[in-house]
Amino acid sequence: MSLIKIINFPTIGDERGSLIAMEAKDQIPFNIKRVYFIFDTQKNVSRGFHAHKDHQQVAVCVSGKCRMTLDDGKKSEEVWLDSPNKGIFIDKHIWREMHDFSDDCVLLVLANENYSESDYIRSYDQFLKITNQ
């Protein structure tokens, strides 16, 4: 089974432009409690390098692109987020890394919980211990 769970958001548009709606419990598989976005990432800088104990997220590049690596402790998979109508669901206990940000990248993240430092697993070795129990 693939770690990459793509969410294709319907695009509505006409001669005026395009619109994408993201609704909790419809396209987003949880109630949204937190929204944040990453932008102006410097060249050759990667982000992420953590997993969550309980939080779930959906990530989508609303502008530009970046390469996401997801890892469950047994296998690792990569996907390019390169369109505002393509997102990925990131479940709890999935290590994530974001690489190769384009200059215009804006990575939007929707989360099912508010920020809590205690929910983060920031050491890959600790992550492996938790996921391989």
The per-residue pLDDT for range 30-87, each reduced to its tens digit, is 999 999 999 999 989 999 999 999 999 999 999 999 999 999 999 999 999 999 999 9
Burial profile 91-110: b = 16 or more Cβ within 10 angstroms, e = fewer: eeebbbbbeebeeebbbbbb
Longest C-alpha distance within the chain, in Å?
A: 54
Please, what is the Cα angle at 74 between 67 and 6, to 5 degrees? Answer: 40
In words, the CATH class of domain 5-131 is: mainly beta
CB 52 within 8 A of CB 93: yes
Name the band, by pLDDT with cuts 50, 70 and 90, for residue 104.
Answer: very high
All structural domains of the chain with their residue ranges = 5-131
Separation of alpha carbons 112 and 57, rounded Å = 6
Name the band, by pLDDT with cuts 50, 70 and 90, for residue 132.
Answer: confident
Average pLDDT over residues 1-20: 91
Q: Which residues are catalytic?
A: 50
Please, what is the Cα angle at 63 between 57 and 68, to 5 degrees? Answer: 45
CB 105 within 8 A of CB 32: no
State residue 120's pLDDT score: 97
Q: Count CB neighbours of 30 within 10 A.
A: 16
